[in-house]
Chain A
Amino acid sequence: MALKRQSVQWPWQGLLIVILLGLAIGLWIATKQVNYEWRWERVPQYFAYQDEEPQTAPFAGTVIKISPAGDASQVTIQPESSGLPATVTVETATLKVAVGAQVNEDDEMGATRHWQVGPLTQGLWVTIWISFVSGFFGLIIGLITGLCRISKNPTLRGLAVLYIELIRGTPLLVQIFIFYFFIGTVLHLDRIVAGIGALSLFVGAYTAEIIRAGIQSIPKGQSEAARSLGMSAAETMIHIVLPQAFKRVLPPLAGQFISLIKDSSLVSVIAITDLTKSGREIITSSFATFEIWFTVALLYLVVTSVLSQLLFWLERRFARSD
């Protein structure tokens, strides 16, 4: 008999489905218990909604003609006093007058509709760009700090170690408060700048350690070969060590940036209207607490999954030379 046996997969996959179903049913029963009324239909309007803008009569007169043009209707009004008739375009569904009706000046004839971006979409956008900008600055700070950390100069090394220890030893929430209320007040920083600054410094400290580990993981022979060809220390770093180090640290860096997107929710405490803050604001007006928090969580999940796929793709591209 062969040592390698074909293991049977389907009972375990079945068990997985049973467990997931059990969890879903449990969740459903739990919400039944608290008598919560689900109103999922309220959620989409917070992504985007149709804004109605009322259209009024420019002067008193009589409606003489209503001609449809697609979804809209053109209402023609003949003024009471002599003069040229005017037309007002409104959505047919919102039409409030009929032919022959008498209208006064500023009477509502109907409304035009146009799509408006909802608070969830706006919050999502704020979260994405704040994370992206913080990640960009964090990477630069991390690269510089990482290089200082392995420098032979004791001053640079000491500063780098101090910075990393300070950031890694204190909670991000406290850092955001300090950055906003202390540094922000002293330097007159906008709340967005303070938020981005705090996040950049936070992610920079972790990135520095990742980059240091990456650089130190490159065999000494690589820089020896480069130096033996006459390259300077900086040229060796740029052409030989850093490209290889970056390739190696891509998975931990990806993890760090995914964490950053999630950690960015903390800037909502200094009144930056990111995804989390938008969610809280919507709940105060809609009372759809469960639906909104689930939606917010899902949106974070979507963003982090997309980033994770993107970095995975990048990793495979870099693996070409392996």
Chain B
Amino acid sequence: MIEVNRLIKIFAGRGQVVRAVDEVSTQVAKGEVVVIIGPSGSGKSTFLRCLNGLEEFDDGQVIIDGIDIAGSKTNLNAVRREVGMVFQHFNLFPHKTVLENVTLAQRVVRKRKVAEAHDKAMALLTKVGIAEKVNEYPSRLSGGQQQRVAIARALAMDPKVMLFDEPTSALDPEMVGEVLDVMKQLAREGMTMAVVTHEMGFAREVAHRVLFMDAGKVLEDAPPARFFTAPNEPRAQAFLKQVL
């Protein structure tokens, strides 16, 4: 479903050149859940953002469902329709109600009718447990509720892949669970997911594979059982010692 070949992203500025993503190659199969972990500044978020072209990478290839997203004939907007993304800071549209947040892109991008978009939104908001808040504005919701709305908003486009960029990092501890539960349910339903997170429990329980990144490179690529018990890389061993 996702294929990444020798992806390179360089940030240059103030005389510094940072290779945020340094020749990363990997692939994510249909229905697979891949969790990307690593220390701060290791390039995991940048890598994830390259997957739907939010970050313009310098070299390499990202192929989503057979389409090279950097191809000269590729309509990037059409690719993004198929790739949902959930952000650390939710990024809900504050001037729209919860319902409008979930229906807007369906209407504008998918050209769905009002009733169809509404039904789809209600079904998804019920699924993530926010059905009673549909007419509230995002500012009236807790962080956990906002993030669940953000997930519903992304799912409303019927994406083939979901990208999660530290979806629980900005949440109060007691709200992390409700968001992770929604993500676990998605994983069980067979959604292809790439998740950047610091939730080791989630990685251990849900992930099919764990990628460990440091300094822009993928140092480990292993099933969680092996990664959490016997990582090969000393850097990964040190990281796990810190977080577990």
- Residues in chain A within 8 A of chain B (CB atoms): 219, 221-222, 224-232, 235, 239-240, 243-244, 247, 320-322
The 29 sampled A-B contact pairs (Cβ below 8 Å) are A221-B89, A225-B92, A225-B93, A225-B150, A226-B105, A227-B80, A228-B52, A228-B80, A228-B84, A228-B85, A228-B154, A229-B81, A229-B84, A229-B105, A229-B153, A229-B157, A231-B77, A231-B105, A231-B108, A231-B109, A232-B77, A235-B108, A235-B109, A240-B93, A321-B94, A321-B137, A321-B138, A321-B139, A322-B139
6 tightest A-B CB contacts, nearest first: A230-B81, A225-B91, A229-B105, A221-B91, A228-B85, A321-B137
- Residues in chain B within 8 A of chain A (CB atoms): 52, 54, 77-78, 80-81, 83-85, 87, 89, 91-97, 104-105, 108-109, 137-139, 150, 153-154, 157
- Among B80, B84, B89, B95, chain A packs the most CB atoms within 10 A around the CB of B95
- Tell whether, in the assembled complex, residue A243 and residue B54 are in contact, meaning their CB atoms are under 8 Å apart: no
Alpha-carbon distance A235/B92, docked complex (angstroms): 16
- CB of B167 to closest CB in A, whole Å: 13
Q: Which single residue of chain A is at the shortest CB-CB distance from B54? A: A224
Partner of A224, one of B81, B87, B95: B87
Count A-B contacts at CB 8 Å.
69
What residues of A have a CB within 8 angstroms of the CB of B84 in the complex?
A: 228-229
Alpha-carbon distance A240/B8, docked complex (angstroms): 31
What residues of B have a CB within 8 angstroms of the CB of A225 in the complex?
A: 85, 87, 91-93, 150, 153
Q: Which single residue of chain B is at the shortest CB-CB distance from A225? A: B91
Summarize A's interface: helix, strand, loop or mixed. Answer: helix
- CB of A80 to closest CB in B, whole Å: 82
Alpha-carbon distance A219/B94, docked complex (angstroms): 11
Q: Given A222-B93, A230-B77, A231-B109, verify A239-B87 contact (CB < 8 Å).
A: no
Partner of B109, one of A221, A229, A321: A229
Partner of B105, one of A230, A247, A322: A230
What residues of A have a CB within 8 angstroms of the CB of B77 in the complex?
A: 227, 230-232
What residues of B have a CB within 8 angstroms of the CB of A219 in the complex?
A: 91
- Tell whether, in the assembled complex, residue B81 and residue A227 are in contact, meaning their CB atoms are under 8 Å apart: no
What residues of A have a CB within 8 angstroms of the CB of B154 in the complex?
A: 228-229
- Tell whether, in the assembled complex, residue B91 and residue A244 are in contact, meaning their CB atoms are under 8 Å apart: no
- CB of B69 to closest CB in A, whole Å: 13
Alpha-carbon distance A28/B97, docked complex (angstroms): 58
- CB of A203 to closest CB in B, whole Å: 26
Q: Which single residue of chain A is at the shortest CB-CB distance from B140? A: A321
What residues of A have a CB within 8 angstroms of the CB of B81 in the complex?
A: 229-230
What residues of B have a CB within 8 angstroms of the CB of A224 in the complex?
A: 54, 87, 91
Alpha-carbon distance A224/B93, docked complex (angstroms): 11
Q: Given A229-B109, A229-B157, A235-B109, verify A243-B80 contact (CB < 8 Å).
A: no
Q: Given A230-B157, A239-B104, verify A247-B95 contact (CB < 8 Å).
A: yes
Q: Which single residue of chain B is at the shortest CB-CB distance from A322? A: B139
Known A219-B91, A226-B93; further 20 A-B contacts with Cβ < 8 A: A221-B91, A222-B91, A222-B93, A225-B153, A226-B105, A227-B77, A227-B80, A228-B84, A228-B154, A229-B81, A229-B157, A230-B105, A230-B109, A231-B109, A232-B77, A235-B109, A320-B137, A321-B94, A321-B139, A322-B139
- Tell whether, in the assembled complex, residue B89 and residue A230 are in contact, meaning their CB atoms are under 8 Å apart: no
- Tell whether, in the assembled complex, residue A230 and residue B78 are in contact, meaning their CB atoms are under 8 Å apart: yes
Q: Which single residue of chain B is at the shortest CB-CB distance from A223? A: B91
